[in-house]
Amino acid sequence: MVNTLYKWGIALLCAVMAAGCASSGTTAATAPPADTRPVSEIVLANPSLTGSLMYVYDYKADKYTAPAPKGYKPFYVSTFGRHGARYAVKVQYEMIKTVLDYASQAGLLTERGKRLREDYNAFYKDAIYCEGELTDIGREQLRTIAGRLFERFPEVFEGDTKIAAISSPVPRVIMSMVSFIDELQERDKTLTVDENGSDSYSPLVRPNWGPLDFERPKSIEEIVAPYIPYFRSTVDIAGILGRIFTKPEKVLAGTKTDDVVLVRYMFEVSNGFGCISGQDSPFEDLFTPEDRFAIFRAAWSRVMRFLGRYDGAESLYPDFLAYTLKDIIEKANADIAEGDVQLRLRFSHDSSVMPLAVLMNLDGKGRTATSPDEALEIFHPWDMPMGGGFQFIFYRKGKNEDILVKVLWNEEDATLPIGDGPYYKWEDFKTFYAPIINNTLSMLDVLRGESRARQKAIN
């Protein structure tokens, strides 16, 4: 029943999206052409893109946005974004140290492995206390993004301006919110700010996190499981571990460590050095270009299985973001009608921001992948970088009630499956997404009811 219901829900959403492509939209200037090269060519030219979710996009560079239709001016902003650059997390740091220390004590390190352990331990002694925290680059990111928002849309800040901001209760996200708002307040000292990082806002900024009031059809482990044999068949695990251990199988057995997880963690921690000022990665020469691409592709298939749409995965992660999209629309309606709040800011995580892009089918990111290579093309891994996310910019022409909205993704114009963009009529936007929200929430309600019935029968 669960699988049938899930497939029914997705099919219905896809039908609604397809129908919406025929809707009318407002045309604007043409954006620079998209890079249509295969992902393999793109990352060969820029290896830093294999950083995937740890990637820090060039936030200092100017961002393109098409000029507004004549006479239209911005007056309201709503955002939903990821925290800035951060340190890797404790479980990753600790696994790598445990394995390297064990291999050292057992005399199983190669010369390259000995150098790696020495360099890694020097980094680890400080990094372990910063695990998961916002870095200096992360703070600079959020301040830079906030400053550019102020410069691009100065009309929003004219007169009395109020900001309502919320974040998840995780420290790096709260500090991202603080950095963003600090920059705006330095630019405009008259701003009124209401900011809150209480866990009570989690249902709005990370509705797919934590304990739910019903069982998921599949656990995350079940959803991502198929990536493991793919990883083993396409990544030269033996070659990579053989560069640092004389007997990799003995090290793995002695520490009870999974080879796929270890290689993925080393790769992600290595990529995380791009988030830290003045630090060189001790893993830099551990991975060949072929290794990097193979891990990048396999690991992304794992991410897409639970944060995106992947054939057979049946993840509900994107569906839960219907609660966030509903809130964005309802708050925008109220704020515009009342005129009290001019900027409504939301700070969250990649695991919530990315699924909203999928649910909205932003730039075609909601399509279903049927293979790891297709997953790379549908949602480029570097398109959910540190500090990335949504900016909904609202425009009007004098007292004209015909409001337009433009969606920026990573500060650049994005397209929606509504019609010609990047400027869309707000009424068209709401009309298009209303059935997607309603149908998705109805599907979740049915699953919730079935789950409660099962629990009641057990008890």
Instruction: Give the tens place of pLDDT for each residue, 297-331.
Output: 999 999 999 999 999 999 999 999 999 999 999 99
- Residue 367 has what DSSP assignment? S
- Give residue 17's pLDDT: 44
pLDDT at position 457 is 77
Confidence label for 8 from pLDDT (cuts 50, 70 and 90): very low
The model's pTM: 0.91
Query: Is the pLDDT assigned to residue 4 strictly greater than 80?
Result: no
Task: For 249-303, write each residue's pLDDT tens digit.
Answer: 999 999 999 999 999 999 999 999 999 998 889 998 999 999 999 999 999 999 9
The average pLDDT across 75-83 equals 98
Show the tokens assigned to 355. Answer: 């699924």
Is the pLDDT at 346 greater than 80, yes or no? yes
Which pLDDT tens digit goes with each residue over 172-208?
Answer: 999 999 999 999 999 999 999 999 999 999 999 999 8
Does 213 have pLDDT greater than 70? no
Quote the pLDDT of residue 2: 39
Q: In this structure, what token pair is assigned to residue 159?
A: 């007169």
Label the pairing between strands 73-82 and 389-396.
antiparallel
Helices (H) and strands (E) in the chain, counts: 18, 9
**pLDDT digits over 22-53, tens only?**
333 333 334 567 788 999 999 999 999 999 99
pLDDT at 92 over 70: yes
pLDDT at 310: 98
Task: Give the pLDDT band of residue 214 (cuts 50, 70, 90).
Answer: low
Task: Establish if 179 belongs to a structural domain.
Answer: yes
Q: What is the pLDDT of residue 36?
A: 85
Q: pLDDT of 358-401, one tens digit each?
A: 999 999 999 999 999 999 999 999 999 999 999 999 999 987 77
CATH number at residue 224: 3.40.50.1240
Quickly state the pLDDT bin for 11 (edges 50, 70, 90).
Answer: very low
User: Token pair of 350, please?
Assistant: 């990649």
Q: Distance between CA atoms of 376 and 368, rounded to whole angstroms?
A: 11
Residue 198 inside a domain? The answer is yes
Provide mean pLDDT across the span 429-447.
95
pLDDT in tens, 108-132: 999 999 999 999 999 999 999 999 9
Domain residues for 66? 2-88+132-243+286-458
**Does the structure show a pLDDT above 90 at 453?**
no
228-256 tens-digit pLDDT: 999 999 999 999 999 999 999 999 999 99
Residue 109 lies in a domain: no
Q: How far apart are the C-alpha atoms of 432 and 411, rounded to whole Å?
A: 23
Please tell me the distance from the alpha carbon of residue 130 to that of residue 135, in angstroms, as a whole number. 9
Half-sphere exposure of 47 (CA within 13 A, CB side): 13
Does residue 102 sit within a domain? no
What average pLDDT does this structure show over 150-158? 97
Say how far apart CA 76 and CA 341 lie, in whole Å.
8
pLDDT value of residue 394? 98
Angle at 270 between CA 264 and CA 275, to 5 degrees: 125
Average pLDDT, the chain: 91
Whether residue 221 lies inside any domain: the answer is: yes
Is residue 183 assigned to a domain?
yes
Task: Select from 140, 237, 147 the least CA-distant residue to 186.
Answer: 147
Handedness of CA 233, 234, 237, 243 (dihedral sign): positive
Q: Number of structural domains, the chain?
A: 1
Better pLDDT: 2 or 171: 171
Residue 162 CB contacts under 8 Å (≥ 6 apart), including other chains: 191, 192, 193, 194, 340, 341, 342, 343
Contact between 106 and 254 (Cβ < 8 Å): yes
Instruction: Answer yes or no: is 22 within a domain.
Output: yes
Note the pLDDT tens digit of each residue in 352-369.
Answer: 999 999 999 999 999 999
Q: Give the per-residue pLDDT at 111.
A: 97
Q: Classify residue 248: in a domain, yes or no.
A: no
Give residue 211's pLDDT: 52
